[in-house]
Chain A
Amino acid sequence: MPLHEFDCSKVIPERKQHAVVKGREEDLTSCLPKGYLNTIPGSISERGCAYCGAKHVIGTPMKDVIHISHGPVGCTYDTWQTKRYLSDNNNFQLKYTFASDVKEKHIVFGADKLLKSNIIDAFKAFPDIKRMTVYQTCATALIGDDIEAICDDVMEEMPDVDIFVCNSPGFAGPSQSAGHHKINIAWVNNKVGTVEPEITSDYVINYVGEYNIQGDQEIMQDYFKRMGIQILSTFTGNGSYDDLRGMHRAHLNVLECARSAEYICDELRARYGIPRMDIDGFGFKALAGSLKKIGLFFGIEDRAQAIIDEEVARWQPELDWYKERLKGKKLCLWPGGSKLWHWAHTLEEDLGIRIVSVYTKFGHQGDMEKGISRCSEGALAIDDPNELETLEVMEKLKPDLILTGKRPGEVAKKVRVPYLNAHAYHNGPYKGFEGWVRFARDIYNAIYSPLHQLAFTDISKDDFATDKGFMTRRMISDVDLDDEVKNNTELREYTGGFDSVSKLHDREYPEFESQSAPAAAE
């Protein structure tokens, strides 16, 4: 096994099992790091806790819900507003966060009464919102408050409200991934099947593992609607609580982030016979294949093809403009979980970028299998990295760009390596054909930012020309380009404007004649 030992982690020998280099003849039988294990003491992990995974990633994107954490206010504060999962109800779930504000005295005397009065207060403060999720945290799990019993009491007193209890305290597993698992299973056990949805199409899906980061869900929803597909629910970006109670009536579960939401798809497959179809919503080729695949399932692949043809014709010249300028750039793909495999091959194929390292903070070995399969030879794959290791990689591999979250991103900036936010995005949405061009534009802007060039000038030491003005991005990126490319009038920079989502709200969708009385998968 081509294990990689970091100089900075020699004092933590167990870390060696968590990094591999993909060599020429390597495949998954010889090249796979360990994963989803407790962080090794001494290694300062970038992971979140299981409560964070349940609430921050999966719970909170549900839009018409009061999200209340039963615990100290710090837990909820750290999971508030740091991810841009938008919603079309004026972002209620992003604007407000709730906590029962547990203090020392409650740890001694119990916090159940406190929780009950806070739940009632929250419903009274927002009388239009009738749904709530209560999240367990470490402190309240340890004192043993019976949250289910409290919520049952409230629901009896307030019959028009419905409450979901998410029992995933921070210590419930090695990382946020444990929380993804727990909330998936709790939702399918307690809420799926408790509402009968209205079926309006012959083709009905749940769109699962999609969190509407900067509008991603709305972009994909547009394609599905153009194909005449009914989206029964989105788990959970821009998703409605009651829609998600009716997930059992879909014909197909279309799954994006398998890391965070495969569990509910697997359970819906086992309990209701709804197949699970994993797709890629990113990248031209991968997205086209995914739309086609969904079309094939329903026998409407011609509708998918029409959308693909239209979108590719509109956006390919703009993607290619960036490709010409990004070819050969080296990139570290360091997201949390699923984007390491969603993006690895598409960035290489669509933009000619070379992925020199992939890492995952909380992914499992299955995510690494996908990531390693999809990236090229020579890539360094790291599980649960610590900050010193990432600094070492940046120093040795000298990437042109890091795609990661904002905490490690700020570390990268300090060593003058540009970064883009892989979790909450810079100027997304990045899904869809137009979104992928926006992503290419952001990558281009980051790599060729004149600021980074200036940052490398040490004004206390270096001589620098005082008679020259700023370089523009274009001056930097086009310096070695062939004239043929420079003068190519077919290619153009992104023309889509600042907001690529609002225009979809006015779109009129085709009416397709129903082929048969809709039947649910049973």
Chain B
Amino acid sequence: MQETIENKVGDLLSFIMKNSLWQFNSRGWDRRKQSEGVLTKVSELLCDEPVSKETPADKCYYAEAQCVVDGFNKNFPWLKDLSKDEIKALIHQLHERLDYQTIDASLNAELTVKNY
């Protein structure tokens, strides 16, 4: 079971890495903000929870998140069989693995540069 979840998270992660660009902003702190902003809304959208679109930044995260969700729903039909708690746990793991790959264990030496 554990392995299946890991595989599923791996599939979702590969989809994002191939199709999205928001996770690749050039500084580590910026990447962390982006993944938090977008994946929080991905989780809300998948769980049919209200999504805030108040600020321009919120609207941008929402637009990115909706595109991710559309892609997930199209490519991973098993998602609709999961409960809300399972979806939240899945996106939480996805968030951790994305941050690990693009920030914490990244080989990109420019992530810690102070200026843009």
Contact = CB atoms under 8 A, between A and B. Distances in A.
B2 interface: no
B67 A293 contact: yes
A32 B70 CA distance: 30
A185 B91 CA distance: 37
Contacts of A365: 107-110
B107 A292 contact: no
A328 to B, nearest CB: 20
Interface in A365-381: 365-366, 369-370, 373-374
Contact of B64 (A29, A293, A374): A293
Contact of A28 (B22, B26, B70, B102): B102
Best-surrounded residue of A275, A276, A294, A341 (most CB of chain B within 10 A): A275
B108 A369 contact: yes
A374 B59 contact: no
B62 A251 contact: no
Contacts of A369: 24, 102, 106, 108
B4 interface: no
A273 interface: yes
A374 B59 CA distance: 26
Contacts of A262: 25-26, 116
Contacts of A263: 116
Contacts of A277: 60, 63-64
Contact of A370 (B21, B59, B66, B116): B21
Contacts of B21: 258, 278-280, 341, 370
Nearest to A31: B107
A369 B62 CA distance: 24
Contacts of B70: 292
A366 B67 contact: no
B26 A366 contact: yes
Contacts of B22: 278
A263 B26 CA distance: 10
A364 interface: yes
A297 B108 contact: no
B57 interface: yes
Contact of B63 (A27, A294, A345, A366): A294
Nearest to B27: A266
Interface in A391-442: none
B83 interface: no
Contacts of A273: 56-57
Given A28-B107, A365-B107, A374 B67 contact: no
Nearest to B104: A29
Contacts of A275: 56-57, 59-60
Interface in B33-69: 56-57, 59-60, 62-64, 66-67
B7 interface: no
A289 interface: yes
A1 B107 CA distance: 10
22 contacts: A28-B106, A29-B106, A30-B107, A32-B107, A32-B108, A251-B56, A258-B21, A262-B25, A262-B26, A266-B30, A266-B116, A273-B56, A277-B64, A278-B24, A289-B67, A296-B62, A296-B63, A365-B109, A366-B26, A369-B24, A369-B106, A521-B56
The 4 A-B pairs with the shortest beta carbon distances in the complex, nearest first, are A275-B60, A278-B21, A296-B63, A373-B17
Interface of A: 1, 27-30, 32, 34, 36, 251-252, 258, 262-263, 266-267, 273-280, 286, 289, 292-294, 296-297, 341, 345, 364-366, 369-370, 373-374, 521
